A and B are shown apart, each in its own frame.
Chain A
Amino acid sequence: MKLPKSQIFLLVALLVAGGFSAFSGRIDPYILDVTLGVGIAITLASSLNLINGFTGQFSLGHAGFMAVGAYSSAMLTTTLGPKLGASAGVLQWVLFPASLLLGGLVAALAGLAVGAPSLRLKGDYLAIVTLGFGEIIKVILQNVDAVGGARGLVGIPDYTNLFWTFGVAAVTVYVVWALLNSTYGRGFLAVADDEVAAEAMGLNTTRYKITAFVVGSFFAGVAGGLYAHLKGYLNPGGFDFNKSIEIVVMVILGGMGRHVGVIVAAVLLAVLNETLRSFGDYRMILYSLLLILLMLTRPQGLFTWTPRKKSAA
């Protein structure tokens, strides 16, 4: 059977990730850490792009979904891992993906719970509700002793590697891309453009919005799982409003609803963050100035040469 181009892309991406992963032992752990961070950022930004960029909703709670995924996934590996008595390799290749899946599912569930009632809200009202949800999650995590409360969850095994990170990133990008590039998927864009007209064309706008929310949260949750097993430690404070804003910045800087632009923005911001480290406490000052400058010089998003909405699938 002839595989279409898009699926070949996905396969190749997965293979490349797997290939590199085999050498990860030889990669400088710091570079690896940053690279994995970039991969997670791509997943976060692409998944939020589905909600904020393509479907035109305004979520400010992506870090909340990420937290849900991170904690669920970490709880599974930290509680079940030691009991299984399996080798680290088995745990990394079997238990860990299961835990990522769990993180994604729990986050998707949360996405459904938040999305279903609140999607009739528009614009900033939706933003506030999602922001509120993120904060509620944070407060609850701070208060639950079983997950470490304010002290944080310690002792999470470091399973996150190149394969899982970039595999997930590739799958996310593929899913978002594939969802949109179909006649069905143009509906997301239509909802973003004009809800009244979309309804009149027979599109169930609520259904589209919920789908975007659930899929977006799912991948945010998976990204959370990766993050947990990269850092080895979780603290509720790490999933606050500022984290959500960070992801929103990637999406907007990338040009809202552009696949490649958002990926590049995610990479750029992560790399910028690291390169500026050498400037010590001027780092954030420079970072903020660069952010303003980027926006002023490329207001249409960094990478406008990527066609936004091609008619060809």
Chain B
Amino acid sequence: MASLLQLENVTIRFGGLTAVSSVSATVQEGELVGLIGPNGAGKTTVFNMVTGVYQPTEGSIAFAGQPTAGLKPFEITERGIARTFQNIRLFPSLSVFDNVRVAFHLHLKHDSVHSLTRGPKFHREEIELRERTRELLAIFNLERVQDEPSKSLSYGDQRRLEIIRALATRPKLLLLDEPAAGMNPAEKLELMKLIQFIRDKFQLAILLVEHDMKVVMGICQRIHVLEYGRKIAEGTPAEIRANPAVIAAYLG
């Protein structure tokens, strides 16, 4: 069976700088994969290429067997990849609730015309969506702030909301960029459980960028390691922990 996500010799250059250099990697369905490496190694850039924000200079990316070259970010999301951002990008003036609700948009049966006619079908769908939004918010215990504008949330809560919002697009692959940043160890433990819970409950694959090794080693089945844009290692957490190159470059 083909991989869910497949990167083949992917390279991207910004002017003279090669940010990612001939990286190949895969993520299988339902798998929880880590992507680690020193600062500036190119992890976020890989995310940006997978989600269509950047087009690779060389190489190819395929999702569910289909190449994604030339697709716009929203088209890639339609195919089933969702992400969070390293620098949080919520809809700051929308309420917490609406941040999530908007993301359901992809699976709506109604559109602009139905918004105007507002027939019974429209209302049924809206009620259902509201229920589902609440369910999602409940995962991270965010219903208590659901009517606040998202910009007034603390940093940690904003991270959580971003994950929920991404889930609302019902992805097959979820890309998380440093979800544990800004959380204390206790909160990180909780987050680890939640990530696994999400994976199981929504049956999706997760690609995780994170600098906290407890988190990465604790939940990932496989880990890719980047340094200076190149892949220097791949393997199980145990293998990675023992890999001298990774220790030298990253773990210390």
Identify which of residues 103-141 in chain B touch chain A, using a CB-to-CB cut-off of 8 Å: 103-106, 108, 110-112, 114-116, 118, 120, 122-123, 125-126, 129
Residue A309, interface by CB 8 Å:
yes
- Size range of the interface on B? 35 or more
Which of A71-79, A125-133, A202-210 interfaces with chain B?
A202-210
- Cross-chain contact of A178 among B105, B118, B149 (Cβ < 8 A): B118
Residues of A within 8 A of B83 (CB): 200
Residues of A within 8 A of B98 (CB): 186, 189, 309, 311
A181 to B111 alpha-carbon distance, docked (Å): 12
Residues of A within 8 A of B89 (CB): 194, 196-197, 200
B74–A199 CB distance below 8 A: yes
Residues of B within 8 A of A309 (CB): 93-95, 98, 149
Q: How far is the CB of B155 from chain A (nearest CB, A)?
A: 16
- A-side interface residues, number (CB < 8 Å): 36
Residues of B within 8 A of A1 (CB): 120
1/0 per position for B62-79, CB-CB distance to A under 8 A?
Answer: 000000000011100110
Q: How far is the CB of B94 from chain A (nearest CB, A)?
A: 6
Residues of B within 8 A of A231 (CB): none
Residues of B within 8 A of A24 (CB): none
B106–A202 CB distance below 8 A: yes
A200 to B90 alpha-carbon distance, docked (Å): 11
B102–A190 CB distance below 8 A: yes
Q: How far is the CB of A167 from chain B (nearest CB, A)?
A: 16
Considering the complex, give the chain B residue whose CB is closest to the CB of A312: B130
Q: How far is the CB of A5 from chain B (nearest CB, A)?
A: 10
A181 to B115 alpha-carbon distance, docked (Å): 7
Residues of B within 8 A of A211 (CB): 112
Q: How far is the CB of A14 from chain B (nearest CB, A)?
A: 15
Considering the complex, give the chain A residue whose CB is closest to the CB of B95: A311
B126–A182 CB distance below 8 A: yes
Interface residues of B (CB under 8 A from A): 51, 53, 72-74, 77-78, 82-83, 85, 89-95, 97-98, 101-106, 108, 110-112, 114-116, 118, 120, 122-123, 125-126, 129, 146-147, 149, 165-166, 168-169
Interface residues of A (CB under 8 A from B): 1, 4, 6-7, 175, 178-187, 189-190, 192-194, 196-205, 211, 308-311, 313
